[in-house]
Structure 1
Amino acid sequence: AASLLRMIKLFKLVRLLRVLQMEVFRDLMKMVQCMVGGVHTLVWAMVLFFFVVYLASLLFTEFFGRHDVDHVYDHFRTVPRSMFTTFRCAFGDCTTIEGQPIFDHVRENYGPIASFFCCCFVFVVSVGIMNVITANFVESTMAAAAKAKRANKTARMHDTDLWNSRIVTLVRLLASHTGVELRGMLSEQIQDLCKLQVPSEVIDRVVRTPEGCQALCELDVFECDHEYLSDILDADQSCICDVTEFIDGIRRLRGEPRRSDIVCVDLMVRDIQRQVRETLQAVREFGNR
């Protein structure tokens, strides 16, 4: 019975996890991931803030906890009590139980120097330490969000089911707009597909259709490239693109621009320049004979 109960609880947990993967909970899960990514920074921020409060509390106890002064002594008579008061003052709640500012009583009983010291503490904590902690925490959460986004995009880029289904959609759209009827599975019509020549205007019409635009967006092809897709895929400027060139071009267009793409183009251009120089040198030598 106990094992059955554990299985039921596990089943409920799995169902809950599946529910949280729904689109409506996407922002919630993103915030949770960011919070988890910033926990390490938050812990160290708590350690830093604890030591700052502890050191300030030692000073406050030494200065304000020695003499029985109304509205001041009760808040700084011991180190733990002083730490609690210092913590409250760091967040702006530096008042007595009657609602009177503690620092006003400090100024009246200990002079302007003690009041100036208290003001410096509040300024350093609220403007300096708090902003530093906030900046580091925000940076950590943003880094965690960016890491999660990259992981999701990488998983989507390696999702073969997504790639196959969207490419099939695009190929069928190209075939239908070209006037070719494809029946059954495309894997059974490979030879016919390899012979299919798609004009540039057909590609332009396909990318303007809702199905084609959605398929390209789900394949992480930027929407700003859709308008120029036929020109991008037409390497020889023949205004005709076969299916294999189309599929290979879509595969290369997926995702963010990569440095490797730029390096590859640079190396290819250098190789072309070398070949042109060799050809030019050969032509000159032939002309001098």
Structure 2
Amino acid sequence: SRLARLVCTLRFRIFLELKMMIMGVVSGLRVLTWAIVLLLMLIYVVGVAMTTLLEKEPEFMDMRSSMFTLFRCWTDGCSAIDGTPLFERIRKEYGFHWMVFHILMTMFITVGLFNL
């Protein structure tokens, strides 16, 4: 009901663009919700794999750490606890295929999922 009152107050011509923006956000909430669900599912599945394969790394020693690290890597920045680039360190220690995996997953998330 508050949203309806807000929309009614936006009948003035000066607020036309604001009204259009609010209606766009409201109509896009379903897609946004499913994008978040898909991102969380990917974080969980890849987190299980990373915890299993890289459990001696402090960023992947348990599921909670793995999921938070993956969330950070795919949304903000991917650095280790000491501030060094995380996947560069993993590439040196475990091989180049981890860097390819990281690049492919990051491209899928940023180009595919974030553009829904």
Identity %: 30
Query: For 1:18 and 1:56, how far apart are their aligned partners in 2?
Result: 46
Q: CA deviation at 1:21?
A: 2.1
Structure whose CA Rg is larger: 1
In the TM superposition, 1:119-198 aligns within 5 A as 119-131=103-115, 133=116
Unmatched segments (≥5 aa) in structure 2: none
Residues 1:78 and 2:62 aligned together: yes
Question: For residue 233 of structure 1, what is the aligned residue in structure 2?
Answer: none
User: 1:126 aligns to what SS in structure 2?
Assistant: helix
**Contact 2:35-2:114 within 8 A present in 1 as well:** no
Query: For 1:63 and 1:77, how far apart are their aligned partners in 2?
Result: 10
User: 1:46 aligns to what SS in structure 2?
Assistant: helix
Instruction: List per-residue Cα deviations over 1:77-130 (Å, max 9, x = no partner).
Output: 111211111111112410124331101110121122223222222222223333
User: 2:114 aligns to what SS in structure 1?
Assistant: helix
Number of residue pairs aligned between Structure 1 and Structure 2 = 114
Instruction: List per-residue Cα deviations over 1:237-267 (Å, max 9, x = no partner).
Output: xxxxxxxxxxxxxxxxxxxxxxxxxxxxxxx
- Going from structure 1 to structure 2, the CA distance change for 1:90 and 1:20 (only over 3 Å counts) comes to same
Following TM superposition, where does structure 1 have runs of at least 4 consecutive aligned residues deviating by more than 3 angstroms?
16-19
In the TM superposition, 1:48-59 aligns within 5 A as 48-59=38-49
Query: For 1:87 and 1:18, how far apart are their aligned partners in 2?
Result: 39
One-letter amino acid matched to 1:120: L
Residues 1:98 and 2:93 aligned together: no
One-letter amino acid matched to 1:90: W
> Of the two structures, which has the highest relative contact order with CA contacts closer than 8 Å and spacing of 6 or more?
2
TM-score (norm 1): 0.36
Question: For residue 38 of structure 1, what is the aligned residue in structure 2?
Answer: 28
Root-mean-square deviation over aligned CA pairs: 2.3
- Going from structure 1 to structure 2, the CA distance change for 1:52 and 1:45 (only over 3 Å counts) comes to same
Query: For 1:124 and 1:28, how far apart are their aligned partners in 2?
Result: 32
> Mean alpha-carbon deviation: is it higher for 114-123 or for 50-59?
114-123
TM-score (norm 2): 0.83
One-letter amino acid matched to 1:57: G
